[in-house]
Structure 1
């Protein structure tokens, strides 16, 4: 049997990841650390004067698609997974930064003329990084609107608690600082800190790693580039 991996991503973001893990021979447990909710917007989305859309997550694409049927806008995505979701939602003019928020800011600077109109950013209530600050000196008007909530989980599944207590989990995957923060709080609430010493933490970025520093891990691996494929490579490195 392959190593047992704990996936902490929201369920809506996990289909491709879980398929990739199974293909590589891993076993899986799931403990989503964020619950994604799509509230309705009675006033709609403010798209007046917008020349393009910015998506920093697949859930931003899902939320926009639920609220608006317009697909003629060019879209700029933080990474390839978000770009694939945009394509599935019906967009055609898609650009991917294949990286993090700073890569996306560079892509916007390269692809968009700020004089031609604003940029609409459908986002969560809390976001990682501030595109507006990164681009404010370039004359961009970025209009961010909350279209979904990512609420931290308030529990660990019983099978996950049992597996951690028995030291059966070989590695935990973390894709965001908020996911890591939620996990740490629940581990401390259940007094499981000492049960992770044989478990590796696999992090999408250094910012994620920083949130996990209060826990003692067997190994901590950070993806060389903030994408799922590189995170899976970091997972493989943990067992090399």
Structure 2
């Protein structure tokens, strides 16, 4: 029996390791595929800081020449995972919010003066208008879309076989977009009924709403916006087989 991890690579392997440490078997089934978008730095713009809402934004520009001067700036990360990715990318001054856009906005407002100019390294699909919210508070935000996450059409044959053999115990969801992609792929792969009958553990109420809308019978929500809390939610409803 196993837990299905829907996160894209490379984050899914870290989640799988955390699950195995807790005694769970895992099946990796990324439902979004990372694609970098060419980054064109505005050399004439002087930034006062950088905003990042996903570690993927940093992965997309890791080898770009502009990183040599961007690393010298203060980076505002949405949460611990993106903050860790920023430090791994060579940023020295990293400030982390509490895992959501509102806390990131408030952190920027608290730490920088109005009129500051920030570089927002963003994905193609945004869950909120962070740039607009900060703009309304007197900041200049220059958004650079550095990556997109492309939904897969269907689950792999191995994952479909695992569903059909009833080897999946639960499914983990870390974003609204990946949750939607999973349910659509499950439907296209002919395992929707099996998938909806399983427990679904979600990182937030917003992600849980997607599972509810899809018709999931059991939905658990993490108490905080981090991976450990998602795994805690899993343990509340599905005990590891190795314990």
- TM-score normalized by structure 1? 0.92
Counterpart of 2:51 (choices 16, 36, 54) is 54
Contact preservation (8 Å) 1:13, 1:58: no
1:121-140 alignment runs, 5 A limit: 121-140=120-139
Which range is displaced more, 228-237 or 70-79?
A: 228-237
1:135 CA drift (Å): 2.4
1:164 CA drift (Å): 1.3
Q: Partner of 2:126: helix, strand, or coil?
A: coil
CA distance in 2, matches of 1:109, 1:233: 32
Q: Partner of 1:224: helix, strand, or coil?
A: coil
1:138 CA drift (Å): 1.2
Aligned to 2:230: 231
What stretches of structure 1 move > 4 A for 4+ residues in a row? none
Q: Partner of 1:181: helix, strand, or coil?
A: helix
Q: Partner of 2:127: helix, strand, or coil?
A: coil
CA distance in 1, matches of 2:220, 2:229: 11
Aligned to 1:102: 102
Contact preservation (8 Å) 1:77, 1:96: yes
Residues matched between the structures, number: 235
Which range is displaced more, 92-101 or 182-191?
A: 182-191
Contact preservation (8 Å) 2:75, 2:93: yes
Aligned to 1:80: 80
Aligned to 1:13: 11
CA distance in 2, matches of 1:139, 1:232: 39
Contact preservation (8 Å) 2:163, 2:194: yes
Contact preservation (8 Å) 1:194, 1:216: no
Q: Partner of 1:201: helix, strand, or coil?
A: strand
CA distance in 2, matches of 1:135, 1:238: 39
Change (3 A) 1:197 1:176: closer
CA offsets per residue over residues 217-236 of structure 1, 9 Å max, x none? 34211111111121111111
CA distance in 1, matches of 2:108, 2:230: 25
Which structure 1 residue ranges, 5 or more long, are not aligned? none
CA distance in 2, matches of 1:195, 1:160: 12
CA distance in 2, matches of 1:156, 1:72: 42
Q: How big is the alpha-carbon RMSD for the aligned residues of Structure 1 and Structure 2? A: 1.6
CA offsets per residue over residues 33-82 of structure 1, 9 Å max, x none? 110011334xx222612110001001111123222322101000001011
Q: Partner of 1:213: helix, strand, or coil?
A: helix
CA distance in 2, matches of 1:189, 1:8: 16
CA offsets per residue over residues 97-129 of structure 1, 9 Å max, x none? 0321111111111111123x3111111111121
